Amino acid sequence: MKKFFVTLSLLVLLAALGAGAFLYWGTYETGVMAGKVLRVSKKGMLFKTHEGKLSLDTFGALKGSSPIAETFDFSVEGSEQEVLRDLGDVALTGERVSLHFEKKYMHFVWRGDTKYFITEVERHK
């Protein structure tokens, strides 16, 4: 009987570790958002994360209406130094860019404030 509970406990532990790894590294969605980077910052008290905001140019449902101000919040992994440098450059110039992102399954406080992580900055010529 003891062997059964040990085996069951190990199976439950392995399943929990597998589920945790899937939620941490798994990608739910990939895509591209276009707009102008409004800000890029490093923030947090206990965990310092890189966060940003992209201004999207969207238009109302009626023809001839003015653009609606809409923003997209995103995070950047600390190891993505080239992406952080590119985001800082385009935030200063105000140029329109496409940001390639991955949406993760779960939000972890030490990774960022959002589930959206920028993987590449594509500048428009």
What's this model's pTM, rounded to 2 decimal places?
0.82
Mean pLDDT across 83-109: 93
Residue type for 29, please? E
Query: Where on the phi/psi map is residue 103: left (φ > 0), alpha (ψ -120 to 50), or beta?
Result: beta
Helical ranges in the chain per DSSP H? 2-25, 81-93
What residue ranges define each of the domains in the chain, with the CATH number in brackets? 27-123 (2.40.50.860)
Query: pLDDT tens across 15-53, in order?
Result: 999 999 999 999 999 999 999 999 999 998 899 999 999
